[in-house]
Every structure is written in C-alpha cells, then in structure tokens.
C-alpha cells in the first residue's frame, strides 16, 4: 500500500522513522480521565459536552468544504493538493492525473447535499478522466479509489457515463488478474498496454477488490470482474497456514508466501479481512463469510493480547504462533469496527477503547506504536480515517453515545491541529507541541474521515442507515437514497 511500508523484517517501520517517545501506553480505562492540556493549548476543549447534532453536522460539513475549496483553488483536476505550498501531487504516476480528489469527493459531496459541487465533479470526471493512460498504475489503489469512487458516483447520481468510465477502467485493470498463473493479481498494470509488473504483492493488495468488482459485475451483468476477485480471495485462503493464519506478502507467479509473518490487522494485510466480511455482506456470498469467520477466529486465538486492560494484536509466526512483534499501526484501528460488524462486538468495543486511550494521550494518533514498550515508532499522522471509521461502525451497531463523544473529540483535535488556510494537511510529528505539519491533503480525506463524522450526526436523508454499506475507502456501495 502506498503509504505503509512493507514489513520485510518483523517490525513495520525502519529505525529512521522511529521517534524517541517511550513512556508506557495508557490503559484502556485511562482515556476517560484525559487531562488534555495540549488540547486546550490548541483551542480544542475535549471535555465539553456535544453541541446539538445539527450543529456538529454543520461544523463537519463546513470543514469538509474548507478542504474542498482549498483543493479546487490550487489543484483542480490534479490528484491531490499541497495545501501549505499551494502545489499539487500526482498520486498514481508522475505526469498523469486522474483527478483523484474529485473522484474521492463525489459521493461525500452528494451525501452532504452539495449538488452544484456534485455536478462540477461529475462533469470533470466525464470529460477528463482517462482510463487508458500509458502508465503503470497500482491495481489496489485504482480499485478502491477510482473504481469504487466511480461506482459510488454512479449509484448516487444515476449518471451512466460514470459507470461506463468505471467499466473501461476495470477492463484495463483486469490483465493484472487474468495474466497471473496463481490468480493472485500483479501489483501494477500499464493501462494502455496491459503489461503487468510487481510480482510480489502484500495481502491487502491482492485481496481488496471483491466489493468493487462484485458490484460492477452486478451492475453490468458481466461476471468477469467478480470471478477475478473471488478467485484471488480463494487463492489466498487455500494458502493459509495450519493455524489458519496468513503471511504478509505473496509471490504472484509461484503463489508462495515470501514471509511467514502474520501481522493482522496491521497494513499491508488489513483490508483483506475487511473485504471478506464486506464482500460476503454485499454480495451475499457464503464462501467469503465462511473464510472471514475461520481466519478471524485464528487472529483472535493467536494474536489478540491484553495488556493493562487494553486489547492489542501481536505479530506472530504463522506456522508456530510464536510472537515476533508488538507494533500497532494506526491503520489497524479500523479493525475495531470490523470485529463488531463480523459478530465479535465485545472485542471490537475493547479494541476501540485501546485506541481511544492512545488518542487521549497524544490527541492525534501516531502512525505506529509498539504497545509493549510504549515506544512511538512513527510519529507521523497522515490524516487517516480508520479511527473515525470504527467509531461510525460501532455507533451504528450499538447506538452508544461513547462513539459520538469520542468521534467529536477526534474531530476537534484534527480541526485544531491539521487545519491550514489552504485546507487540511498531514503532520510530520504529533508528539511535538505545536504539531509539526507536512504539506499534503490526501485524496482519502475527501472520501472518508468527515463522511463518517457527518453521517453520525446529520441524520442524512440520502443515506439508508439500515442497509448502507461503505467500502474500505468509504465509498457508498449500498444505501444511496435517491429521490
Ligand atoms: C485508505 O486509502 C483506505 O482506508 C485503505 O483501505 C487503507 N487506508 C487508507 C487511508 O489510511
């Protein structure tokens, strides 16, 4: 995955990325006490009660539009904005744009009832998004962001050209699957020539496609996408260890694991599990559901670990179950919601509290911690959405106010620290005061964080709260209510 380095050793990050913070992590219960001195320094009062739902929804929408206007000002038509310098970033390939932030924003703008912006975004996509560029594209990112974004855009607006464009793009991605002797997709494909490359691929990248490809097959009646995705998932599951654990990376050509590290729910394996559950749910597929259950039982049995009342997931050797590390990436915090959705609600709620404890300690989640030593291994914060994603999932499952309270605190902290005149930006180090900021507004910022928050407070008339389903990239793949 793009921003999560691949673990070639037993840790997730190299020594250069490690920060010096080593104090023990707070217990799960400690978060309630959170002194939040730094919060007050930054003007965010984390202990205050919530404003009314309508007020919070309006605050969230205003911040979303602040970022969106910032993007439009300096990077319209380009993938991502650099909100501090006023520059822009090509996400997929240097010199080529897919208007990534526009595709990422489309369904969020629609849910927020910003219809003029929706029209602008959909027009741009129809006129400019070129799915046939002569460049090597990362298949995983193209599927979850572009294919997913176009599908959601189509479901929300009913504009059939979005579905046509989606299909053209998916056709260009298919060689990554069909040219593979193992059915596990290659990492990269040249959209013009169909040449494939990247013969070693992490688990999340080979197996995060069932939702988008399954839905595309349903909408078009063309089964090729779904069968490619299902074959890839099956190819992984048949390679599980005798403990029902999975490794981290696979050789696409030989079909063999290149390592024996079970690192769930960390990247780069995270969303593989998510798509077994989401895919099973969306496509009503008993195999995906069964695989999810079997593999999750093994994760809970061999990797779950309680320390000072907090639940974490250790890294183990997939053949022996022997512990190999205690890193926990911020991206893994999505797993709290997934556990809840998959039927392990008590574990999901506990894991969420572990992350809330960490949030209360640092106000913003660092990218990687070692929960055993208390060391912050990467102090970055890439404006990631996973904690808010779990708050949303667990709130929908339980209705408990804990999730809206903590999600609002998260929102206040992000607004107080990551907001700049040009939008929102990543942070290089969240352990310094003030936080040291970077210069990038990632595409997923428009797809995820504020969408989850908005839906928790807005009683959004365009979202079916009973059946609604969001993909790993926060795309609305079921439950768009069109009048
Ligand atoms: C997003 O692109 C998706 O949520 C993906 O599944 C992994 N994480 C990034 C953002 O952190």
Q: Separation of 35 CA from ligand 1 center, angstroms?
A: 30
Alpha carbons 135 and 456: distance in angstroms, whole number: 39
Residue with tokens 């780069």: 268
Identify which of 386, 368, 372, 374 has the alpha carbon closest to the alpha carbon of residue 429: 368
Whole-model pTM: value is 0.92
472 Cβ closer than 6 Å to some ligand 1 atom? yes
pLDDT digits (tens, 9 = 90+) for 19-42: 334 444 545 444 333 323 333 333
Alpha carbons 71 and 102: distance in angstroms, whole number: 9
For ligand 1, atom 6, which residue shows the shortest CA distance? Answer: 472
Query: Dihedrals φ, ψ of 132, to 5°?
Result: -125, 30
Asked whether 467 and 478 are in contact (CB, 8 A), the reply is yes
| Assigned token pair, 222 | 């063309």
302 Cβ closer than 6 Å to some ligand 1 atom? no
For ligand 1, atom 11, which residue shows the shortest CA distance? Answer: 384
Asked whether 445 and 403 are in contact (CB, 8 A), the reply is no
Query: Dihedrals φ, ψ of 96, to 5°?
Result: -130, 135
What are the angstrom distances between the C-alpha of 372 and each of 14, 33, 326, 336, 367?
18, 22, 6, 19, 16
Residues in the chain: 483
Q: Separation of 162 CA from ligand 1 center, angstroms?
A: 22
331 Cβ closer than 6 Å to some ligand 1 atom? yes
Identify which of 89, 76, 62, 174 has the alpha carbon closest to the alpha carbon of residue 123: 76
For the chain, the domains span 25-478
Residues near 233 by beta carbon (within 8 Å), at least 6 away in sequence: 207, 210, 275, 276, 279, 287, 288, 291
What's the pLDDT at 49? 75
Atom of ligand 1 at shortest range from CA of 274: 6
pLDDT digits (tens, 9 = 90+) for 185-233: 999 999 999 999 999 999 999 999 999 999 999 999 999 999 999 999 9
For ligand 1, atom 4, which residue shows the shortest CA distance? Answer: 473
Query: Dihedrals φ, ψ of 377, to 5°?
Result: -95, -25
For ligand 1, atom 1, which residue shows the shortest CA distance? Answer: 473
3-class SS shares of the chain: helix, strand, coil, % to 5: 50, 15, 40
Q: Separation of 206 CA from ligand 1 center, angstroms?
A: 15
390 Cβ closer than 6 Å to some ligand 1 atom? no
Fold category of 25-478 in CATH? Glycosyltransferase (1.50.10)
Per-residue pLDDT tens digits of the chain, which is 483 residues long: 433 332 332 233 332 233 334 444 545 444 333 323 333 333 334 445 799 999 999 999 999 999 999 999 999 999 999 999 999 999 999 999 999 999 999 999 999 999 999 999 999 999 999 999 999 999 999 999 999 999 999 999 999 999 999 999 999 999 999 999 999 999 999 999 999 999 999 999 999 999 999 999 999 999 999 999 999 999 999 999 999 999 999 999 999 999 999 999 999 999 999 999 999 999 999 999 999 999 999 999 999 999 999 999 999 999 999 999 999 999 999 999 999 999 999 999 999 999 999 999 999 999 999 999 999 999 999 999 999 999 999 999 999 999 999 999 999 999 999 999 999 999 999 999 999 999 999 999 999 999 999 999 999 999 999 999 999 999 999 999 998
What are the angstrom distances between the C-alpha of 279 and each of 45, 213, 226, 377, 382?
39, 10, 10, 33, 27
What are the angstrom distances between the C-alpha of 203 and each of 6, 259, 388?
11, 11, 23
271 Cβ closer than 6 Å to some ligand 1 atom? yes
């Amino acid at each position: 995955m793009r921003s999560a380095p691949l673990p070639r050793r037993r840790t997730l990050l190299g020594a250069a990325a490690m920060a010096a913070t080593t104090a023990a992590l707070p217990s799960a219960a400690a978060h309630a006490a959170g002194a939040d001195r730094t919060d007050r320094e930054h003007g965010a009062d984390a202990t205050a009660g919530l404003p009314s739902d309508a007020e919070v929804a309006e605050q969230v929408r205003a911040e979303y539009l602040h970022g969106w206007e910032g993007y439009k000002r300096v990077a319209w038509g380009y993938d991502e904005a650099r909100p501090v310098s006023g520059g822009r970033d090509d996400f997929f390939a240097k010199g080529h744009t897919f208007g990534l932030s526009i595709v990422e924003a489309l369904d969020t703008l629609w849910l927020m009832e910003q219809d003029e912006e929706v029209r602008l975004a959909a027009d741009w996509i129809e006129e400019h998004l070129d799915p046939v560029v002569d460049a090597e594209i990362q298949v995983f990112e193209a599927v979850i962001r572009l294919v997913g974004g176009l599908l959601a855009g189509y479901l929300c607006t009913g504009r059939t050209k979005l579905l046509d464009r989606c299909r053209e793009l998916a056709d260009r991605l298919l060689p990554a699957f069909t040219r593979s002797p193992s059915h596990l997709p290659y990492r990269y494909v040249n959209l013009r020539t169909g040449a494939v490359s990247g013969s070693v691929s992490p688990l999340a990248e080979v197996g995060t496609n069932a939702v988008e490809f399954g839905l595309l097959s349903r909408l078009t009646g063309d089964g090729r996408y779904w069968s490619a995705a299902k074959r890839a998932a099956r190819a992984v599951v048949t390679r599980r260890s005798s403990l029902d654990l999975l490794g981290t990376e696979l050789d696409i050509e030989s079909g063999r694991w290149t390592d024996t590290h079970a690192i769930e729910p960390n990247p780069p394996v995270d969303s593989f599990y998510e798509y077994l559950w989401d895919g099973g749910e969306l496509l009503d597929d008993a195999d995906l559901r069964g695989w999810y259950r079997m593999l999750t039982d093994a994760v809970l049995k061999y990797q779950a670990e309680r320390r000072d009342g907090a639940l974490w997931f250790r890294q183990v050797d997939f053949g022996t179950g022997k512990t190999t590390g205690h890193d926990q990436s911020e991206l893994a915090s999505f797993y709290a919601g997934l556990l809840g959705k998959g039927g392990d609600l008590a574990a999901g709620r506990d894991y969420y509290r572990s992350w809330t404890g960490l949030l209360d300690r640092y106000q913003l989640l660092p990218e990687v911690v070692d929960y055993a030593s208390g060391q912050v291994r990467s102090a970055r914060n890439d404006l990631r959405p996973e904690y808010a994603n779990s708050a949303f999932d667990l709130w929908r499952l339980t209705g408990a106010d804990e999730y809206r309270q903590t999600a609002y605190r998260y929102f206040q902290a992000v607004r107080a620290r990551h907001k700049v005149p040009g939008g929102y930006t990543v942070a290089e180090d969240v352990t310094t005061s003030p936080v040291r900021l970077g210069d990038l507004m990632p595409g997923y910022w428009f797809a995820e964080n504020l969408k989850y928050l908005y839906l928790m407070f807005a009683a959004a008339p365009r979202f079916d709260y009973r059946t609604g389903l969001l993909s790993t990239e926060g795309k609305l793949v079921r439950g768009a209510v069109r009048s």
